[in-house]
Amino acid sequence: MRPERLTPSGAHPNNRPSAQPRPGAHDGWAAKAPARTARDRARRELSQNFLRDAETVHRVVRAAALGPDDLVLEVGAGEGPLTVRLAAVCRAVEAYELDPRLADRLRARRAAGGPWRRVRVVHGDFRAAVPPAEPFAVVGNIPYAITSDVVDWCLRAPGLTAATLVTQWEYARKRTGDYGRWSLLTVRTWPEFHWRLLGRIDRRRFRPVPRVDSGLLRLERRPVPLLPAPDAARYRALVEYGFTGVGGSLFASLCRRYPTDRVAAALAACGVERGAVVGHVHPDQWVALFRRLEPPAESRRRPRRAAPRW
């Protein structure tokens, strides 16, 4: 009798498992994901991730360091957990919300009285808001998609005292030098604004849960700028020139604009190595370099000649 033939796996050839059909392959339909509702689409379009954790809400309010006489503009009020906490510690809150459904819900809550009486709900895009004439602060759990626009708005608003913003973790680290590098925007605005990273917020504190963690970013206008107003434009011009990266190092870039010995002396006095790239230079060192490379604006003005006496 001939021995029974086995497959390499040890199974009898007549006992091989038959191929299983894919689900939906032969029944005339294919499995589909549930259709997105209008609410789902709105959340995606408006980049809505609501802050639901009470401890984190308190943390944001504490970081804002508000007083009873302060006016606050809130970016993206959403369902209002941060709104009511802000209203409890300040004079008035202007809550901006682009979603009409949420804006109506926020207005309805004013009937509850208490801190809600100090809230004015604005249905609209915060980026189109006209800055108040009086001093004010900005606070918000801002949509990741418009972070740069909101920050630019804050920097341009003359009455802004401070902005306390929940942003994407990577953005907050980038703007505050937490990667060991400094961005052009931070260095340009450093004489007027102090940028601080106040910690990380776990993504599980939000609903729906976003893909990345958030950071608590604090932007404060300095009571007294590090440079006088007449020098501001020249400082920005120096920074923008240095960030062009011409020559591969800050020393090489500045030598195209100033005498080499003068640049070398300025870098040494400010503690900047010759081979340092622009991103590794601290904003305070940029201010110090400007003071050494550029004469004060007042000294650049030529004195008027006295009228001759006859």
Binding-site residues for S-adenosyl-L-methionine: 49, 51, 76, 97, 125, 141
Give yes or no for a contact between 150 and 165, defined as CB atoms under 8 angstroms apart.
Answer: yes
Output phi, psi for 106, to 5 deg: -65, -40
Give yes or no for a contact between 81 and 53, defined as CB atoms under 8 angstroms apart.
Answer: no
Radius of gyration of the chain (CA): 29
Q: Residue 121 forms beta bridges with which residues?
A: 95
Pairwise CA distance, residues 32 & 78, whole Å: 31
SS3 42: helix
Q: Is the peptide bond before 208 cis (omega within 30 degrees of 0)?
A: yes
Nearest to 116 by CA among 80, 62, 141, 140: 80
Residue list, annotated binding site = 49, 51, 76, 97, 125, 141
Give yes or no for a contact between 138 and 72, defined as CB atoms under 8 angstroms apart.
Answer: yes
Side-chain-side CA neighbours of residue 274 (13 Å): 8
Place of tokens 């680290």: 173
CA 145, distance to chain mean position in Å, is 10
Cα torsion through 42, 215, 131, 64, rounded to 10: 120
- Residue 7 buriedness (CB in 10 A; 0-12 / 13-18 / 19+): exposed
Give yes or no for a contact between 139 and 159, defined as CB atoms under 8 angstroms apart.
Answer: no
CA 261, distance to chain mean position in Å, is 39
